[in-house]
Structure 1
Amino acid sequence: MSNFWVFGYGSLMWNPGFDHLRSEQALLRGAHRALCVYSWVHRGTQDRPGLVFGLDNGGACRGMAYQVAEDIWPDTLDYLRAREQTTMVYKEHWHNIELESGEKVQALVYMVDHDHAQYAGALPVERQLEIVNGAVGKSGENPEYVINTASHLEEMGIADSNLAWLAEKLKAL
């Protein structure tokens, strides 16, 4: 069995884009999901940034873990780096996660780089709404990304009242 795991907390939860042996809900301790990254490529531009999720320090995050076969791990890692490291706003880390089944594994996670120009920090939800609404990048509209992530978290039984509020406001606009 492969020991290569990837932890997804944003679009990787609903659109991993790579082959995997299995997927399972998982818990990462020591970091939380936050709309804390200005998107200059995928969901916005430098002139009109959007907002995307990052893993920021503190708390805990429930997401999806994907086990990747050893023989395709190098290609998967290349794919993830091309997707997640376009502007190097994330740092690759290996963290212990706990799968829903109780198994503990090490997984590759992408943590936000606090020193990067795209790090937005903790923004009030009203400001998040202003930034997300109308932003578009090469991967599509920013509101779609936020609404899809909120929807998938809800399907997974993960409560996030701020994200739910934001998604409802975006749907109404």
Structure 2
Amino acid sequence: MANQKDSMIQALIDYMEQHEQVMTTAESCTAGLILSELASVPGSGHLIDSGLVVYSPEAKQRYLHIDEEIFEKYSMTSEVLSCEMAKGALNNTQATIAVANTGIAGPAPSDDGTPIGTVCFAWAFRTEAGDHLFCETRQFDGDRNEVRLAAARHALSRVSHYHEQCLNNAADA
């Protein structure tokens, strides 16, 4: 398992270097694990701008400038919120990639009934053709920390996939 994780992260590092990308994160349920996983490879620091752990709505508003209306209209575990988090992170840093997530790692479901293991992700990219935003929701099994780690690795595993879509969309334009 460790070799699979290491090869995925090394492939991402190679991809980011090839495309001159720098990452920031806005993490809720993973609490910094996305960036920690990337930083676990020696020499990856030049690919990292910053990382925010923003659990509370107040922290999301303060650091990512998310409108209070988002919290009133949508669940704390929603793709809308994860997208706003990614946009806020991208707009407040020098990064070219922002990865964000919000979800329920456990031990109990959310007040709105969202099941344990539900995580909403967003990836925002700044390219010469403009900004691009992608989101998805996934369900992970396991205890709290297994969900958090699986979510962090999933977030990283999708970066090059979505960045390639940005490049393909720009080429088609």
**Band the TM-score falls in, shorter-chain normalisation:** under 0.3
More strand by share: 1
Structure scoring higher RCO (CA < 8 A, sep ≥ 6) equals 1
Question: What TM-score do the two structures reach when normalised by structure 2?
Answer: 0.22
Question: What TM-score do the two structures reach when normalised by structure 1?
Answer: 0.22
More helix by share: 2
